[in-house]
Homo-oligomer: A and B are copies of this chain.
Amino acid sequence: MSISKNQLKLITSLSQKKYRQKHNLFIAEGVKVVNELLNSAFKVETLFCTDDFSCNISAEKIVQVSEIDLKKISSLKTPNKVLGLFKIPDEKELQNKGLILALDDINDPGNLGTIIRLCDWFGVSELICSTKTVDCYNQKVVQASMGSLTRIPIHYIDLEAYLSKTNLPTFIADMDGENVYKSSLPKEGILIMGNEANGISDEIKKLISNKISIPRFGETQETESLNVATATAILLSEFKRAF
């Protein structure tokens, strides 16, 4: 059995968010990421795999393909045995407790994937994304998150409306903020990280109770900013190290 024309068309269409939403499906590739998804609550629709990939799912969901066919449908430089179509799960209800990370319009899929992995590592309870943040089922996000996508509840909501109602303390990174190394950070709260080019939007800034800063140690003081994923890493580490 090889890939049908309709399957090929479906796979190609899933690079676009509107078709992911229409079909309620997303793509994951490679042995590691696919196995993490198979071992999670996520539901598999179809697996396209070469004959050296082994797994325990029912035969009707498996399409055996040649390496040449896998290469045709893969967006990886080096396709790795399997490409899977998985169902996009329903969004869980927002719990609004613990340490929450909120993203104000993150654009880069690699950054979002890295941030999802960080949320998993640091036990962030929920990830809240503004509606303009890149889709977490974008294929590059799925690959960069390395399976952490299955362990972090992610919500796409109107961030401004949410922050205007929350009772949790809110934090943004700002060069004029309090030195994070000297701040007493709470166990529960919302850390908001901004867009790669524009930072936090003015509407969101108005709603924030605390500004914190990562001190800069370089002598020249010319480094303008840290990459958003590395800044998120440092700040999540600071929130967690006290507990």
Contacts and interface: CB of A to CB of B under 8 A. Distances in A.
Contacts of A121: 214, 216-218, 223, 226
Interface residues of A, number: 36
Contacts of A83: none
Nearest to A123: B217
| Number of copies of chain A assembled together | 2
Contacts of A230: 114, 117-118, 229-230, 232-233
Contacts of A233: 226, 230-231, 233-234
A151 B238 CA distance: 27
A227 interface: yes
A231 to B, nearest CB: 8
Contacts of A240: 215, 217
24 contacts: A36-B222, A114-B227, A117-B227, A118-B226, A118-B230, A120-B218, A120-B220, A120-B222, A120-B223, A121-B216, A121-B218, A122-B216, A123-B218, A148-B223, A151-B220, A151-B223, A217-B240, A227-B229, A229-B229, A229-B230, A230-B233, A233-B234, A234-B237, A237-B238
B151 A181 contact: no
Interface in A187-220: 214-220
Contacts of A231: 233
A126 B81 CA distance: 41
